[in-house]
Structure 1
Amino acid sequence: MRAVALGGGHGLHVTLSALRQITPDVTAVVTVADDGGSSGRLRRELGLLPPGDLRKALAALAGEESTLWSTVFQHRFGGTGALAGHAVGNLVLAGLLEVIPDPVMALEEAARLMDVRGRVLPMCTEPLDIEADVVGLDEDTTAVRRIRGQVAVATTPGRVRRIRLHPAGDPASVPTACPAAVEAVRDADVVLLGPGSWFTSVLPHLLVPELHEALITTTASRIVVLNLVPQPGETAGFSPERHLDVLCEHAPRLRVDAVIADADSVPTPDRLRRAAETLGASMRLDGVASADARDRHDPKALAESLRDVLAAVRG
């Protein structure tokens, strides 16, 4: 089974960890708009793709034999010098991206180093910027303000209404999808959206025209995995069904086969069921939260839920 997961950050990491328990043929399609932390520093200084989310995806798909390399890739330097806060894997990827101009080939080399079972691809082969329309930042709570940058959008105290995506420094242009990512979505048997930062990791894939069209026209089963809790800032106060409403607003032609949510995170199942049906999807409520951290998915439990959903969706 060819599985493709779209997202970024910790949400994509858990999805990949679950999928690799189901199939060895997993492709991660990763957002490239991060402008904070180590990734943001490398992006600004070198003009490269932000490597952080790509690094996390590689670590999630790394083979058993590469435990040491996975640990090293995720290790962050301490201290107060120039390297403080940088992840080793970010620096390795930055070096590969400078030596090998093709980001897809650079990531393939990193995958070989880490014995990755599957593939990691950037959503686009150039860094992107996110803009958001936000309300609730002024005395007039209906006034719309434009917020720029992934970190700013993710941490805004206002409520995000809509986002836009464009190549870095070129707000008049439309982003171009990585051709390999488009091909992976078209050829997939199952495509997963979420969990993750809804406006800055999940929805951006729908704002790249070629990727958007591939998601709509693919013959793959499309599954949405909902977050366990609202994210402070961009989705504060969101109900589970509101996440689906926003998804529909950004991609009204998108149809989904199933929506997976944690049973304890859905206070009004009937509302979520109706929202899922609007997208053409069935709803699946399972216990997919980690016992140690209720705001994180348990990869094993998510894998079991995915198996059941896929069995039902594929007949």
Structure 2
Amino acid sequence: MAQAEEHRTQETLAVRRADGESRSLAASLPRLMLEARRIANNVTHGLHGRRRAGAGENFWQYRRFVSGEPAQNVDWRRSARDDHLYVRELEWEAAHTVWLWPDRSLSMAFASKSARDSKLERGLIVAFALADLLVAGGERVGIPGLMNPTSSNNVIDKMAQAILHDTATRSSLPPSFVPSSRAEIVVLSDFWSPVGEIRQMLAGLSASGAHGTLVQIVDPAEESFPYAGRVEFVEPEGGGAITAGRAEKWASDYIALVAAHRDAIRAETSKLDWLFSTHTTSRSAAELLLFLHAGMTTAKDAGGKAGRGA
């Protein structure tokens, strides 16, 4: 119980810091990049435009009801014909939805001396900054199970408040939900979850045809394993502790296991034409933000970029 409370305090401080850092980061990037992405997509879609669900008059599609949405969104007539709840979406010719998931689980609070930020802070900074840029370009941004998609100019404030008032258990991976077929999803996590859980998450999120990017945010110490001598390693999410008599002897096996874990994730994302990348917190947050922008711009034909570090 004490550990959970301590983590919530760390999270509150991280959210407040990320709020300021993300505004500065977002303001420093050329807004023309987002406009270039919009123009490129419009050319690609040609005269058909970018049919999206949103504010409009014409029916677009039914989609599954997402936990946390207002009950008045439910189309009860359509839902009566099935065992699930459905929402009636209207057509929007410009904006679409980008779902962002910054992992806020206990393991994300880790930060070694060589890191610029904790993994938690870095994930929040980038998520907030990306949301700000997307909304400035007319897109809608939401957090699965926590915040409905919005195009509000104060999206950072809305995200921060939603996170600060969240009383649910901090999960590493996003909750199960059904995004629209044209939605984009960005998951920022350390992805130390078992590959089976990651595979299950991907299967659920991609079932409707949505495209996404997984970014593994890691601390420099998690990359290089710079430990020597007698060291006790504590798993922050209930996995217990283990003591190494001579930790340096574990380094090669550890690095091999990390590589194998990443290869397994990359194999799963490649099957779905999703992107997978790694980012170390000793590097610039702006570098990751630029990578995500580029990945979202060329998502359909960027298979060669999958797995490139950012």
TM-score range, shorter chain: 0.3 to 0.5
Look at both structures and tell me which one has the larger radius of gyration over its CA atoms: 2
Scaled by the length of structure 2, the TM-score of the pair is 0.34
